[in-house]
Structure formats: C-alpha cells, structure tokens
Amino acid sequence: MDDHIHLHNTAADCPPPGGFCRTHELNIQLLAALYAVSRALSRSLDFKDTLHEVLRVLHDEAGLTRGLISVVDPESGKLAIRTIYTPDGHIADDAQYGPGEGIIGLILEKPRTIKLARVADEPRFLNRSGVYAGELPFIAVPIKVGGNLQGVLAVQPEGPEDGLIEERAQFVEMVANLIGQNLRLSLEVEQEKSSLVEERDLLRRTVRHQFGFDSMVGRSAVMRRVFEQARLVAKWNTTVLIRGETGTGKELIANAIHYNSPRARNALVKLNCAALPENLLESELFGHERGAFTGAVESRKGRFEQANGGTLFLDEIGEISPAFQAKLLRVLQEGEFERVGGSRTVKVDVRIIAATHRDLEAAVDMGDFREDLFYRLNVMPLYLPPLRERIEDIPEIARHLLAKIGNDQKRKLTVTDLAQRRLASHDWPGNVRELENCLERAAVLSEDGRIDVDLIRFPSSRERSASKIPRAPTGPAPEAPPPGPAEVDINDPALSERDRVIAALEQAGWVQAKAARILGMTPRQIAYRIQTLNIEVKQF
Ligand SMILES: Nc1ncnc2c1ncn2[C@@H]1O[C@H](COP(=O)(O)OP(=O)(O)O)[C@@H](O)[C@H]1O
Ligand SMILES: [Mg+2]
C-alpha cells in the first residue's frame, strides 16, 4: 500500500512570515473539529446516536465527507457498516466486509491506517456502499478497544489531494481513538446492563418456579378445583380469602397467586396478624411518623406502603380485634390511610390476599368479626381441605416433599409401600406441614435413604382409628375404653370456658349439636368455640 501514501514535506509549503501556512490553517480547523467530536461523543452513551453525530461534525467542520463507521460483528467477525454520512443525507447500509475484501477488509486483515490520494487508482476499491467519489482521496483507520480491532472509520476529504493527506490521516486516527474509548465504555455499560437483566430474569424464573403453581402438588378433585380457581383469580386484582386448617398450604397458594399475577414484578409483602400485639400491628401495617410513640425515632413505611403496586398477604386475619378490623376496613374500602402519628393521607394500590384457619362465619355470628369486613375480604374464597380429607394426595405430596428434602440432603430418598400406607392412615392434624416434618425426621433417621414404616413416627399418637393401623401381633392389647365421663356441673363457675365446653361435649357423647343444646348455643357457635378453644374433637 505504501506506494499510495503521500509523505508530505509540510515545511516546504509554508509561506513567508506574516501569513499562515496551509498546514497551520488546516491544523487549527482540525483542532476545532476534534473538540466538537469529543463533545459529540461525551453527550450520550448511546453509541448509535453519537456515531452519526460524529460523522456530521467531520463533514461540517473538518471537510471530511462520506464518513463511514463500521463495527466488527462479534458473531461473524465481519465489519458491518453501522452508519454512513453523505452531504445529502444519512445512508444506512447492510454491506459487510470480510477479511481482505475491499479496502476496508484490508484493515480487518491487519489493523493499520490506509491513505489513498485517489481512491479510483486502487484496484481493491469495491465501492460496495456506492457512496465514494473515485477522484477523491480516501483515509481509513482502525478503531481499537484495548488493542483489539472493533471497527473502521473511513472518510473522503472533500477536495482532490492537496498534499495534506498526512495531517488529515493523523486527525482521523485521533477521532478513531476517541470513538474507541467511547465504544469501550458503551460496551461495558451494555454488558453490565445485560448481565443485570440476566440475573434478574434468572431470579424471577427461580422465584416463579419456587412459588408458582408447579410447587403445589395434589391431583384430588378438590385440589384441582382450588388450583384452577387460584389460576383464574390470579390475573385480577380481586381480594382473595384463603381458608383452611394450619399447614394446608394457604401461604403456598398466596405465593402462587402473586407470582402468577400481573403484579409479580412488584413486592409480595406478608404479615402474620396473630404474631403482633395490636399497637405494633397498626404501626407495622400503616407505618408511623417520627415521634409517633416512644422509640419512633424515624418515620417508617408500613407494609401497606411497601406493598404498593404489589400484593399484601395478611395471614391469620381472623385474629384481629374489632377495633383493628374497623381500621383495616377503611383501607380496604378507600385504599388510603394515615401513618400512626401522621396526618397526611397515604394512598396505595395494593392487592389483598388474606388467610385464616378460623370459621369466620361463626365469628361473625358470635359478634367477634365485623360482617362488613368479612364481605370485603370474602370476594373470592378459596378453601383448602385438610389432608385427611384428600388422602389420595398423600403419596404424591410425600414424593414431592421427599424430593425437596433429598435435594437438601443431596441424596435420593425412597419410601416403601408399607410406609406409604402408614402415611395414608394417619390423621395429619398439622396437615402438609406435619407430613413434611414427619418425612424430614424419617429422612434424618434413614441411613441408606430408604424410608420404611419403622421410620414413620408421630410424636403425639393421634392416629385416626386403631383398626387402620397395622400393629405388631405381639404388641400390647388395645387399651380398654376409658370409663364413662364423670358428671361435671357445666354451670360450675369455677370451670374455664374450655372445660365447660369439653364437659358439655363429654355429656353429649361428643355429639356437637347435643352439646350445643346443653350449653344453649347454636351448633355453629359451638363449632366456633371448639375451634377457637383448640378442643380436640373425639371421633367414635
Ligand atoms: N399441595 C402442596 N404441595 C406441596 N407442598 C405443600 C402443599 N401444601 C402445603 N405444602 C407445604 O406445606 C407447608 C405448609 O404450607 P403453608 O402454605 O405454610 O400452610 P398454611 O399457610 O396453610 O399453614 C409448606 O412447607 C408448604 O410448602
Ligand atoms: Mg400459614
């Protein structure tokens, strides 16, 4: 290529003292242009935007036209034209140059500056982009990032070669260096962005997998219906009330609803209403202003504000006092509240999912739960039946839980048929949570990962009925039934309410309707008492 390069003796060109030489004039012009280029590049990190602006500056201020910037495509390794600037407009072309193809391809082969006094004289000139003027000079320089070729900057001076191509080429090299630095920055930003996005998407997928509907198993008809209803209600903002005994999967369903809803990108905030005394519950939910109470040294957002745009899961909603029910009702009705100790009204957009193991209808009857709040919450009720009412789900749930436990223990766990049968015969008052604990215990006790019937143990023997449990023939004979209940005066003021209800039940032979009559209650009321007083119902 060297035969095409004009090395120019600039000193010979200079006019006598008193006037500027042409070189000097050009350098001043190019310095101003360089300044404009650096400003264009610093304006934005959006590379595509700035490239075109750089080419415009080269045209308007440096007399370098038909600018072309092509960038190496990381996949094909070819140079793809990103942007071309001609005096009559901006042309974007898809032309690609491989190594050795055309003049620009020469740079791919060996990164270097190419200077041609008249481009048409160069046999390898392809003019693939169709924009070059053959009679004009041509300058192409590599754009490098950290020593690696990332692209090519090519221009044509707007007039025929005037002996100053060397100065112009140096200037184009400086511009290419600036572009390279800018490209490195924007590549780094791009990379960081995409790795953040990747990380976020991975997290989201994991969360969705962990809390999506596939984390819940159960093929019984009741559970299939619950899943179907939950899936349907997930996509709306409808308030959901999840009912069911403790350990039946209420929280799991709440997760699945949130993570399958349009709010999945926003927060799912949880609060167990039974876990906090009332005054704390209020500031926890609504937040507080500074100085609202002793210890409130900073103002704080409550769970409602944290859940803005997302979902608030209120667990054990049946446990809140009537005074607190009234406060909650207002937020549910108006979507607004004040922080504790504050006067500013806060507005929020929150989807509510509530859960309780209580019989709320009975609580309403008893005057313990506000009817209006009940109706506010009970828009879409979902009922999770106790495990003992869906024993056909036990094998599958057990397998699912064992896979989870096995994953933690990094080994494969299996369960024998006999053990499965024992699982199916248990009453599971603690439902799936109890099953989970039972299996974890068994897994810990198992040396080889096989869980046989002897490892299935229940800490409190609350099995459903003696006849269903396989007993060793040599074992002790079943206990004789306890002697008949001693007569207790249910009106004895010394009796606690719990004892009074138990006494009535004993007298009624555990027939609830009969016990209710003894106590002067409705069957619903006694059912509620049995639940709230945690009375274990005997079944005969
Ligand atoms: N259908 C189910 N499939 C798999 N795991 C379940 C299922 N139901 C409950 N679990 C598990 O049982 C445990 C208790 O569930 P949870 O949602 O906390 O119950 P609740 O809120 O009703 O007390 C959790 O570890 C949960 O993952
Ligand atoms: Mg729970």
Within 8 A by CB and 6+ apart from 249, the residues are 216, 384, 431, 432
pLDDT above 70 coverage of the chain, percent: 84
Is the pLDDT score of 2 beyond 70?
A: no
Residue 96 pLDDT: 65
| SS3 state at 248 | coil
> Is 320's C-beta closer than 6 angstroms to any atom of ligand 1?
no
Which residue among 216, 248, 252 is best mutated to probe the pocket of ligand 1, counting the most ligand atoms within 8 A of its Cβ?
Answer: 252
Ligand nearest to the CA of 431: 1
Which one-letter amino acid corresponds to residue 72? V
Residue 108 pLDDT: 79
Q: How far is the CA of 241 from the centre of ligand 1 (A)?
A: 16
Pairing of strands 89-91, 336-338: unpaired
Q: How far is the CA of 142 from the centre of ligand 2 (A)?
A: 64
In terms of Cα–Cα distance, which of 368, 338, 342, 344 is closest to 356? 368
| SS3 state at 529 | helix
Better-scored residue on pLDDT, 220 or 10: 220
Better-scored residue on pLDDT, 137 or 103: 137
Q: Ligand 1: which atom is nearest the Cα of residue 242?
A: 22
Report, as an integer, the average pLDDT of 520-529. 80
Q: How far is the CA of 248 from the centre of ligand 2 (A)?
A: 8
Residue 12 pLDDT: 47
Residue 65 pLDDT: 87
Q: Ligand 1: which atom is nearest the Cα of residue 253?
A: 17
Helices assigned H by DSSP within 366-480 = 371-377, 394-409, 417-425, 431-445
Per-residue pLDDT tens for 15-27? 555 556 888 889 8
What does the mean pLDDT of the chain come to? 83
Is the pLDDT score of 1 beyond 50?
A: no
SS3 annotation, 273-336: HHHCCHHHHHHHHHCECCCCCCCCCCCECCHHHHCCCCEEEEECHHHCCHHHHHHHHHHHHHCE
Is the pLDDT score of 263 beyond 90?
A: yes
Contact 425, 419 (CB under 8 A): no
pTM of the predicted model as reported, rounded to 2 decimal places: 0.55
Is the pLDDT score of 203 beyond 90?
A: no
Cα distance between residue 142 and residue 152, in whole Å: 5
Within 8 A by CB and 6+ apart from 389, the residues are 222
Torsion angle of the four alpha carbons 426, 432, 433, 434, in this order, in degrees rounded to the nearest 10: 0
- 197 burial class (0-12, 13-18, 19+ CB within 10 angstroms)? exposed
- At residue 460 the predicted structure's pLDDT band, cuts being 50, 70 and 90, is low
> Is 244's C-beta closer than 6 angstroms to any atom of ligand 1?
yes
Is the dihedral angle over the CA atoms 528, 533, 539, 540 positive or is it negative?
negative
Cα distance between residue 314 and residue 169, in whole Å: 70
Residue 37 host element (H or E)? helix 22-43
Cα distance between residue 457 and residue 439, in whole Å: 9
Q: Which range in 12-21, 99-108, 170-179, 270-279 is most confidently predicted, on average pLDDT?
A: 170-179
Which one-letter amino acid corresponds to residue 159? G
Contact 297, 290 (CB under 8 A): yes
Per-residue pLDDT tens for 489-523? 777 767 777 888 888 888 887 888 888 888 877 77
- At residue 8 the predicted structure's pLDDT band, cuts being 50, 70 and 90, is very low
Per-residue pLDDT tens for 224-261? 999 999 999 999 999 999 999 999 999 999 999 999 99
Residue 145 pLDDT: 83
Cα distance between residue 189 and residue 177, in whole Å: 19
Report, as an integer, the average pLDDT of 99-108. 74
Cα distance between residue 136 and residue 510, in whole Å: 107
Better-scored residue on pLDDT, 345 or 76: 345
Q: How far is the CA of 457 from the centre of ligand 1 (A)?
A: 20
Q: How far is the CA of 315 from the centre of ligand 2 (A)?
A: 7
Residue 467 pLDDT: 38
Ligand nearest to the CA of 403: 1
Report, as an integer, the average pLDDT of 392-408. 94
Residue 40 pLDDT: 86
Which one-letter amino acid corresponds to residue 417? D
| SS3 state at 414 | strand
Contact 70, 79 (CB under 8 A): yes
Which of 35-44, 45-54, 63-72, 396-405 comes out lowest in average pLDDT? 45-54
Q: How far is the CA of 71 from the centre of ligand 2 (A)?
A: 57
- At residue 310 the predicted structure's pLDDT band, cuts being 50, 70 and 90, is very high
Is the dihedral angle over the CA atoms 440, 442, 445, 448 positive or is it negative?
negative
Residue 208 pLDDT: 67
Residue 72 pLDDT: 77
Q: What DSSP character marks residue 11? A: G
Torsion angle of the four alpha carbons 393, 527, 463, 422, in this order, in degrees rounded to the nearest 10: 0
Q: How far is the CA of 248 from the centre of ligand 1 (A)?
A: 5
Q: How far is the CA of 453 from the centre of ligand 1 (A)?
A: 23
Report, as an integer, the average pLDDT of 94-117. 77
* Structural tokens at position 461: 């023997």
Ligand nearest to the CA of 216: 1
Residue 433 pLDDT: 95
Residue 403 pLDDT: 94
What is the secondary structure of 157-203 as a DSSP string? ESSS--S-HHHHHHHHHHHHHHHHHHHHHHHHHHHHHHHHHHHHHHH
Helix, strand, coil proportions of the chain in percent (round to 5)? 45, 15, 40
Residue 538 pLDDT: 67
Looking from the CA of 128 toward its CB, the CA atoms found within 13 Å total 18
Which residue among 432, 435, 440 is best mutated to probe the pocket of ligand 1, counting the most ligand atoms within 8 A of its Cβ?
Answer: 432
Residue of minimum CA distance from atom 24 in ligand 1:
433
In terms of Cα–Cα distance, which of 382, 381, 468, 391 is closest to 432? 391
> Is 249's C-beta closer than 6 angstroms to any atom of ligand 1?
yes
Is the pLDDT score of 461 beyond 60?
A: no
What is the secondary structure of 471-494 as a DSSP string? --TTSPPPPPPPPPPPP--TT-TT
> Is 397's C-beta closer than 6 angstroms to any atom of ligand 1?
yes
Residue of minimum CA distance from atom 2 in ligand 1:
216
Residue 20 pLDDT: 64
Is the pLDDT score of 301 beyond 50?
A: yes
Which one-letter amino acid corresponds to residue 131? V
Residue 483 pLDDT: 42
Q: Ligand 1: which atom is nearest the Cα of residue 244?
A: 22
Cα distance between residue 521 and residue 139, in whole Å: 100
Q: Which residue has the tokens 């369903």?
A: 253
Per-residue pLDDT tens for 131-190? 778 889 999 999 988 788 888 899 999 899 998 999 999 999 999 999 888 878 877 777
Q: Ligand 1: which atom is nearest the Cα of residue 223?
A: 1
Q: What is the number of helices (H) and of strands (E) in the chain? A: 17, 16
Is the pLDDT score of 476 beyond 70?
A: no
Q: How far is the CA of 205 from the centre of ligand 2 (A)?
A: 24
Q: Ligand 1: which atom is nearest the Cα of residue 384?
A: 22
Q: What DSSP character marks residue 110? A: S
